[in-house]
Structure 1
Amino acid sequence: MPSPTTRTPDDTPAGGALRAQLATLTTETFRPELADVDLLPTLEIARLMNAEDSLVAAAVAERLPLIAAAVDGIAERMARGGRLVYAGAGTAGRLGVLDASECPPTFNTAPGQVVGLIAGGPAAMSSAAEGAEDSRELAAADLDALRLTPDDAVVGISASGRTPYAVGAVAHARKQYGALTVGLSCNAGSALAAAADHGIEVVVGPEFLTGSTRLKSGTAQKLVLNMISTITMIRLGKTYGNLMVDVRASNEKLHARSHRIVSLATGADDATVERALGAAGGEVKNAILIILSDVDAPTADRLLTTADGHLREALAAAG
């Protein structure tokens, strides 16, 4: 136990100010109607949680114009060789790392093209490092290590919208490097949104468990991050319609998926698809172009290079 003269962080004036600040956040609001939720049958608790979750998509829908504007800015920069960088702490940081880690297998992004930064480093993915979220300096150092450029885009993620690591990342990226910045939070009037070029505040209301922002807030953040990465990759030509034509066949399952994608895009028989994939070195876009335009592999590669990887443009150029 602390001695009578010892002051814990919450005893400090700063700790009191933080408590007062948290009390104003929608995501931290106490819901007295749920005070006895632990006494309810399991099925009723599940129904209540499900009803809460159903509100999230509508809250995201209200911010679609803001999300679209941010995506257009990100895609424009990535088309020039820029990177997409997520930065957050705790649950928000883990969601960013998750989204970044799914881009290489889904869209064949280059190493380092989509980056997830979490306060406390990779160890914080599985072990809580919540104290690291309080350091704006740590965020700046993590971004400096990436050697940002004005063509990069940094997305700060924080349910509260006040997390120093996320706010610091956005402020540093914008001021020091002139990078495009996006602030994704779940509270209105957030410091994170104010610090960013594009502020996206998806207000989902108080959480089912008071302050547990891995719930509705986390779901909302995941939905928005899905949109940011997926639509950006669509804009970069990494899809053909709703087909993942930049997927790389690195295992048996993905080879089967590649075969199916080429088949769906071309209507060709299995033997033709396999020959095209073999000639294209497993590259789905190239195989589709070989079949639909009746060109050889080197020509398909040249057409796609000229079209910056956009399959529709390459098909049009092939006539």
Structure 2
Amino acid sequence: MTSTTRPDVWLPVPADEIPGLPEGFTYHFWDGGTEFPADPAQCAFYVVPYAKDQRTSVRPIPGMRAVQVVQTLSAGTDHVEPALAGLPAGVRLCNAKGVHEASTAELAVALVLASLRDLPGFVRGQDAEEWRSGFYPALADKSVLIVGYGSIGSAIEDRLAPFECARVTRVARTPRTTARGPVHALDHLPALLPQADVVILSTPLNPSTRGLVDAAFLAAMPDGALLVNVARGPVVDTKALLVEVESGRLRAALDVTDPEPLPAGHPLWHAPHVLISPHVGGSTSAFLPRAKRLIAAQLTRFAAGEPLRNVVHTTG
């Protein structure tokens, strides 16, 4: 930085716990507490606390009139972006690409296997001291469709490679060709869904994906197919999904729901063939080391006046 002042940086991890932070900044620790650690108006670089509710995450942003960078530690930025509307032009919003791929992809595959092999049924059998033997579906020879083929979608395909899937098909908002094969456009879904035994959602939440998985989408999936959502809850129309799972025609494994957190008494909790995990795709031991590396790398670039990585939106 060329300024003679020391710009403020707000971090959700104490600065002395992050190796490689550049000098020249005044670091403040704030992880969503009631009291702010400093005047938000002096903050130049804001790292949003992770896994906090939306209200907490955006609370200081309206007062950050000098902020230049808002860095999330989540892959999605839909919870933060609306709060940037009142800020000056040129504020860069960066996501946490590179932080969550490993753990989210692990969970996606775990949910597929647990649902197909009925691991929840085995746990219930163990609780009831019942020996539930029999034949169960395998992932081997299944056709898998990944909807949302960014870095997380690619990481999911990496982990599917050893499972002898019959086919992996990729869909994203931007069609392209990769070393693995084509990535189809979203408007190809009606032709692709009938061939998919397993559909994995790993797309960001934006206007083109909100409600993407509606009644027509689900109706196009074949009988017995499995829907896995590690994206965002509102990508799926919950009422339409309930119709399909309560009829027994489809299965679902959901790390995210709409509403979220899923309230007590909601019919999804006890719908047949629905496996629910509490939005823990990124909440693993893999998170903190990768988050610290991202923070240090981004601030090093910021200090040197170099382009930042993972910029998903610029105000103005």
Report the TM-score when normalising by structure 2.
Answer: 0.34
Q: Which has the higher strand share?
A: 2
Larger radius of gyration: 1
Report the TM-score when normalising by structure 1.
Answer: 0.33
Q: Which has the higher helix share?
A: 1
